[in-house]
Amino acid sequence: MGIEPPGPSDLRVPCAPVRPQEMSFSFRLEATDAGTSARAGRFTTSHGEVLTPAFMPVGTVGSVKGLTPDDLKAAGCDILLSNTYHLMLRPGVETVGRMGGLHRFMAWDGGSILTDSGGFQVMSLSDLNKVTEEGVEFRSHLDGSKHMLSPEQAIRVQDGLGTDIAMSFDHLVRLPATPEAVHDAVDRTVRWAQRGLDERARLREQGRGTMALFGINQGGTDAAERARCFAQLGAMPFDGFALGGLWVGEGRKLGLEMVERDCADFPREKPRYLMGVGHPVDVIEAVARGVDMMDCVLPTRNARRGTVFTSTGRLVVRNAAYAHDERPLDPECDCATCAKYTRAYLRHLFVSGELLGMRLASVHAVHHMVSLVRRARTAILEGRYAAFRSQFLEQFASRETLAASAS
């Protein structure tokens, strides 16, 4: 029996999220670096201002694991990411809408929210999905129930969540893929992008759809296909553009080549978002090539396992070498964890299986990434990003080698 995709009125939100009457999104480019393609800017949403370059902690189901919204605000975070796929399955968009939208539901009054369209999640569950022109039929990873996620429904769900920035529903193919598969995915991504824009226009006629909408460039690691994709997406009225289909196993060198290629095409006056990047070296290199926004679970996921990034490289705090170390995780960090706790205590918490260890390490992880992009922003504004980048990479690489040898 086939699955009927929901029509425009099938997404029932009993109590719509609080949203502005008109879209409140604007981006302003403030400075570019003479020695690289790095940019500093800011954009505004109805929930505040976001400085770029920006790193977005990932709160997949409406929570950055182990952290409260106050923790995120204390770390300087002004935007976070949540996920359409997970939230539509649990607790459901109707529940989030009834609670007044995702900001109110999770008590996030500290800034903006960007929601992924869910495309990555449904495509990554390759054994549970079926791609059609209408959308993706898939089975829930929670209970095996059947669902359809179409470009239109992805927009309606994100609107129902009350997001500030929504993402277009795209077709991501797993690499390696045949040239024919990549070509077909690009064509489908472009068609789905237009359908998503059309759905937002319909919602706006109803006084909804006030979120910004970003298009996602696809094409894998085929430079010609990525150029062909953006030649069509770039003509559409998106509020920003994302670089999709990268950092999925192709390697840093090739990934950065694609970033440089895409950013050369992307319009100067709109924000650029590199999806799924969170290693400090990747962040600094992506910024050097013109990226404005990034997100990734890597810093907090690693932190929960006892590994954190510091100003001088990677530190595996679980190691026995830190059993009597009275220093903080990072002597140069002013986060709440580094202000009070020693490496010895953090190690004790991890080897004892105490949840507090994961929480304290996560506090540092978010603060470190937000601080890193803020320092990068300052360097861009002061016209010294090339020097900042060189110094960072030299220092981080030397310490990374030491950390790896101690693991």
- Statement: residue 5 has pLDDT above 50: no
Q: 259 and 389, same structural domain?
A: no
Which of 263, 286, 310, 293 has the alpha carbon at shortest distance from 389? 286
Give domain status of residue 1, yes or no. no
The predicted-structure confidence for 346-396, as pLDDT tens digits, reads as follows: 999 999 999 999 999 999 999 999 999 999 999 999 999 999 999 999 988
Query: Are 114 and 253 in a shared domain?
Result: yes
Tokens at 172, concatenated: 């991501």
Q: What pLDDT does residue 9 have?
A: 36
Do 323 and 400 fall into the same domain?
yes
**For 143-151, which contacts have Cβ atoms below 8 Å and span 24 or more sequence positions?**
146/3, 147/3, 147/88, 147/89, 148/3, 148/4, 148/5, 148/6, 149/84, 149/85, 149/88, 149/118, 149/119, 149/122, 150/5, 150/6, 150/195, 151/192, 151/193, 151/195, 151/196, 151/199
CATH number of the structural domain spanning residue 291: 3.20.20.105
Q: Do 254 and 283 contact (CB within 8 A), yes or no?
A: no
Whether residue 183 lies inside any domain: the answer is yes
**For the chain, how are helix, strand and coil distributed in percent, rounded to 5?**
45, 15, 40
Based on the domain organization, do 229 and 319 belong to the same domain?
no
Examine residue 387 and state whether it is found in any structural domain, yes or no.
yes
pLDDT band at 14 (very low <50, low <70, confident <90, very high): very low
Question: Confidence class of residue 123 from pLDDT cuts 50, 70 and 90?
Answer: confident
Residue 116 among the catalytic residues: yes
Final residue in a domain of this structure, among 241, 263, 295 = 295
Write the single-letter amino acid at 252: R
205, 264: one domain: yes
- Name the least confident of 9-13, 68-72, 246-250, 260-264: 9-13
Check residue 395 and give its pLDDT.
87
| HSE-up of residue 113 (Cα within 13 Å, Cβ side) | 28
Residue 83 belongs to some domain of the structure: yes
Task: Say yes or no: 291 and 343 in one domain.
Answer: no
Q: Give the residue numbers spanning the domain of 50.
A: 26-295
174 and 41 share a domain? yes
Determine how many CB atoms are found less than 10 A away from the CB of residue 257: 16
What tokens does 344 get? 């010895």
Residue 171 in contact with residue 218, Cβ under 8 Å? yes
Among the candidates 273, 295, 317, a domain finishes at 295
Residue 216 in any domain: the answer is yes
Report the pLDDT value the prediction gives residue 17, as an integer from 0 to 100. Answer: 75
- Judgement on whether residues 198 and 346 belong to the same structural domain of the protein: no
Give the other-Cβ count within 10 Å of 387's Cβ: 13
Per-residue model confidence (pLDDT) at position 2 = 41
pLDDT digits (tens, 9 = 90+) for 140-173: 989 999 999 999 999 999 999 999 999 999 999 8
Could you say which of 295, 316, 345 is where a domain stops? 295
DSSP H/E element including 406: helix 385-406
Identify whether the C-beta of residue 247 lies closer than 8 Å to the C-beta of residue 282.
Answer: yes
Q: Count up the domains in the chain and report the number.
A: 2
Of 168, 309, 184, 311, the residue nearest 244 (C-alpha): 168
Looking at the fold, whether 285 and 329 belong to one and the same domain comes out as no
What does the pLDDT look like over 244-301, one tens digit per residue?
A: 999 999 999 999 999 999 999 999 999 999 999 999 999 999 999 999 999 999 999 9
323 neighbors 344 (Cβ within 8 angstroms): yes
391, part of any domain: yes
Q: Are residues 242 and 327 in the same domain?
A: no
Catalytic residue check, 198: no
Extended beta strands in 96-227, E state: 112-116, 129-131, 136-139, 146-149, 165-167, 212-217
Do 230 and 266 lie in one domain? The reply is yes
Identify which of 309, 297, 307, 284 has the alpha carbon closest to the alpha carbon of residue 379. 284
Q: Assess whether 135 and 229 both reside in one domain.
A: yes
Mean pLDDT on 53-65: 97
**Whole-number mean pLDDT of the chain?**
92
Is residue 19 domain-resident? no
Rounded Cα distance, 338 and 318, in Å: 16
Residue 17 lies in a domain: no
Point out the least confidently predicted range of 126-140, 181-195, 376-390: 126-140
pLDDT above 90 covers a percentage of the chain that reads 85
Please tell me which residue in 33, 71, 116, 164 is annotated as part of the active site: 116
Q: 324 vs 119, which has greater pLDDT? A: 324
Q: Which entry of 222, 239, 292, 295 is annotated as an active-site residue?
A: 295
